[in-house]
Amino acid sequence: MQLATSSMEFSFNNNMYRQIDGVALGSPLGPALANIFVGHQEQKVFNVVNRPLAYFRYVDDTFAVFNNEDDCNAFLSHLNSLHHSLRFTHEKESNHSLPFLDVLVERRDSEFSTSVYRKPTFTGQYLRWNSFSPHKRKINLTIG
Protein backbone atom coordinates (compact mmCIF):
# COMPACT_ATOMS: atom_id res chain seq x y z
CA MET A 1 0.00 0.00 0.00
CA GLN A 2 2.95 2.33 0.60
CA LEU A 3 3.59 2.37 -3.15
CA ALA A 4 0.10 3.76 -3.82
CA THR A 5 0.14 6.40 -1.09
CA SER A 6 3.58 8.03 -0.98
CA SER A 7 5.45 10.30 -3.38
CA MET A 8 2.69 10.29 -5.98
CA GLU A 9 2.79 13.09 -8.52
CA PHE A 10 -0.27 14.86 -9.88
CA SER A 11 -1.13 17.91 -11.94
CA PHE A 12 -3.49 20.72 -10.92
CA ASN A 13 -3.97 24.03 -12.77
CA ASN A 14 -0.96 23.26 -14.97
CA ASN A 15 1.31 22.83 -11.93
CA MET A 16 2.93 19.56 -10.84
CA TYR A 17 2.64 18.50 -7.19
CA ARG A 18 3.90 15.55 -5.16
CA GLN A 19 1.64 13.91 -2.59
CA ILE A 20 4.06 13.12 0.24
CA ASP A 21 1.88 10.78 2.29
CA GLY A 22 -1.71 9.59 2.18
CA VAL A 23 -4.26 9.65 -0.60
CA ALA A 24 -5.41 12.80 -2.36
CA LEU A 25 -8.77 14.09 -1.16
CA GLY A 26 -11.50 12.91 -3.51
CA SER A 27 -9.49 9.98 -4.84
CA PRO A 28 -11.69 6.94 -5.49
CA LEU A 29 -9.06 4.84 -3.66
CA GLY A 30 -9.32 6.95 -0.49
CA PRO A 31 -12.24 5.29 1.34
CA ALA A 32 -11.12 1.73 0.51
CA LEU A 33 -7.51 2.33 1.59
CA ALA A 34 -8.61 4.17 4.75
CA ASN A 35 -10.92 1.29 5.67
CA ILE A 36 -8.14 -1.27 5.20
CA PHE A 37 -5.59 0.84 7.10
CA VAL A 38 -7.83 1.57 10.10
CA GLY A 39 -9.04 -2.05 10.22
CA HIS A 40 -5.45 -3.28 10.38
CA GLN A 41 -4.60 -0.80 13.13
CA GLU A 42 -7.68 -1.61 15.24
CA GLN A 43 -6.78 -5.30 15.32
CA LYS A 44 -3.57 -4.29 17.10
CA VAL A 45 -5.62 -2.46 19.74
CA PHE A 46 -7.93 -5.41 20.39
CA ASN A 47 -4.89 -7.61 21.07
CA VAL A 48 -3.69 -5.32 23.90
CA VAL A 49 -6.61 -3.54 25.62
CA ASN A 50 -10.03 -4.75 26.69
CA ARG A 51 -12.55 -4.75 23.88
CA PRO A 52 -15.41 -2.25 24.37
CA LEU A 53 -18.86 -3.54 25.34
CA ALA A 54 -20.02 -2.52 21.84
CA TYR A 55 -17.91 -1.40 18.91
CA PHE A 56 -18.99 -0.26 15.44
CA ARG A 57 -16.84 1.34 12.76
CA TYR A 58 -17.47 2.92 9.37
CA VAL A 59 -14.10 3.70 7.73
CA ASP A 60 -12.57 6.00 10.39
CA ASP A 61 -15.69 6.80 12.42
CA THR A 62 -16.23 4.56 15.43
CA PHE A 63 -18.97 4.13 17.99
CA ALA A 64 -17.93 2.38 21.17
CA VAL A 65 -19.49 1.68 24.57
CA PHE A 66 -17.30 1.21 27.64
CA ASN A 67 -17.87 0.20 31.26
CA ASN A 68 -16.24 3.38 32.52
CA GLU A 69 -14.26 6.44 31.49
CA ASP A 70 -10.89 4.88 32.39
CA ASP A 71 -11.47 2.03 29.90
CA CYS A 72 -12.45 4.59 27.26
CA ASN A 73 -9.34 6.70 27.86
CA ALA A 74 -7.04 3.65 27.78
CA PHE A 75 -8.57 2.48 24.49
CA LEU A 76 -8.28 5.96 22.92
CA SER A 77 -4.72 6.44 24.15
CA HIS A 78 -3.58 3.11 22.75
CA LEU A 79 -5.40 3.69 19.46
CA ASN A 80 -3.65 7.04 19.00
CA SER A 81 -0.23 5.53 19.76
CA LEU A 82 -0.37 3.05 16.85
CA HIS A 83 0.54 5.32 13.93
CA HIS A 84 1.61 8.94 13.54
CA SER A 85 -1.11 9.58 10.95
CA LEU A 86 -3.97 8.38 13.18
CA ARG A 87 -5.53 10.87 15.59
CA PHE A 88 -8.84 9.82 17.09
CA THR A 89 -10.88 12.04 19.36
CA HIS A 90 -13.91 11.14 21.42
CA GLU A 91 -17.27 12.60 22.18
CA LYS A 92 -19.31 11.67 25.23
CA GLU A 93 -23.04 11.21 25.30
CA SER A 94 -25.16 14.18 26.30
CA ASN A 95 -28.64 13.69 27.77
CA HIS A 96 -28.32 9.93 27.09
CA SER A 97 -27.81 10.48 23.35
CA LEU A 98 -24.94 10.71 20.89
CA PRO A 99 -24.95 11.39 17.14
CA PHE A 100 -23.00 8.90 15.01
CA LEU A 101 -22.81 9.68 11.31
CA ASP A 102 -26.45 10.46 10.38
CA VAL A 103 -27.93 8.44 13.26
CA LEU A 104 -28.92 9.67 16.70
CA VAL A 105 -28.30 6.88 19.20
CA GLU A 106 -30.28 7.21 22.43
CA ARG A 107 -29.67 5.13 25.56
CA ARG A 108 -32.68 4.07 27.60
CA ASP A 109 -31.91 1.80 30.53
CA SER A 110 -29.96 -1.07 28.91
CA GLU A 111 -31.24 -0.56 25.35
CA PHE A 112 -30.42 1.72 22.45
CA SER A 113 -32.86 3.33 20.07
CA THR A 114 -31.97 5.13 16.86
CA SER A 115 -33.43 7.86 14.72
CA VAL A 116 -32.30 10.06 11.85
CA TYR A 117 -29.88 12.77 12.99
CA ARG A 118 -29.64 16.14 11.29
CA LYS A 119 -26.97 18.63 12.28
CA PRO A 120 -28.24 22.00 13.52
CA THR A 121 -26.98 23.54 10.27
CA PHE A 122 -29.07 21.16 8.10
CA THR A 123 -31.13 23.09 5.52
CA GLY A 124 -32.59 20.25 3.48
CA GLN A 125 -30.87 21.60 0.37
CA TYR A 126 -28.63 19.35 -1.67
CA LEU A 127 -26.93 22.24 -3.41
CA ARG A 128 -27.11 25.96 -2.77
CA TRP A 129 -28.75 27.71 -5.73
CA ASN A 130 -26.08 30.43 -5.81
CA SER A 131 -23.18 27.95 -5.69
CA PHE A 132 -20.61 27.69 -8.44
CA SER A 133 -22.13 24.65 -10.07
CA PRO A 134 -23.61 24.08 -13.54
CA HIS A 135 -27.16 25.40 -13.91
CA LYS A 136 -28.30 22.09 -15.43
CA ARG A 137 -27.21 20.18 -12.32
CA LYS A 138 -29.26 22.50 -10.11
CA ILE A 139 -32.34 22.07 -12.34
CA ASN A 140 -31.92 18.27 -12.36
CA LEU A 141 -31.87 18.22 -8.56
CA THR A 142 -35.30 19.84 -8.44
CA ILE A 143 -36.78 17.54 -11.10
CA GLY A 144 -35.45 14.45 -9.38
Integer Cα distance of 40 and 37 in angstroms: 5
Is 24 part of any domain? no
CA neighbours within 13 Å on the CB side: how many for 2?
A: 0
| pLDDT (0 to 100) of residue 7 | 64
127 domain-assigned? yes
Q: How confident is the model at residue 4 (pLDDT cuts 50, 70, 90)?
A: low
Identify the H or E element spanning 17: strand 15-21
The number of residues making up the chain comes to 144
Query: Does 114 map to a domain?
Result: yes
Higher pLDDT, 114 or 26: 114
**In what helix (H) or strand (E) does residue 18 lie, and over which residues does it extend?**
strand 15-21
User: Looking at the domain assignment, is residue 135 inside a domain?
Assistant: yes
Q: What is the DSSP letter of 51?
A: P
Report the number of distinct structural domains present in the chain.
Answer: 1
Range of the domain at 104: 96-144
Residue 121 maps to a domain: yes
**How much is the pTM?**
0.68
129-144 pLDDT, tens per residue? 788 888 888 888 766 5
Would residue 142 count as lying in a domain?
Answer: yes
In a domain, 80, yes or no: no
- pLDDT tens digits, 16-67: 888 777 777 677 888 888 888 888 888 888 888 888 999 998 888 899 999 8
Q: Is 13 among the domain residues?
A: no
pLDDT at 116 over 90: yes
Confidence of residue 99 (pLDDT cuts 50, 70, 90): very high
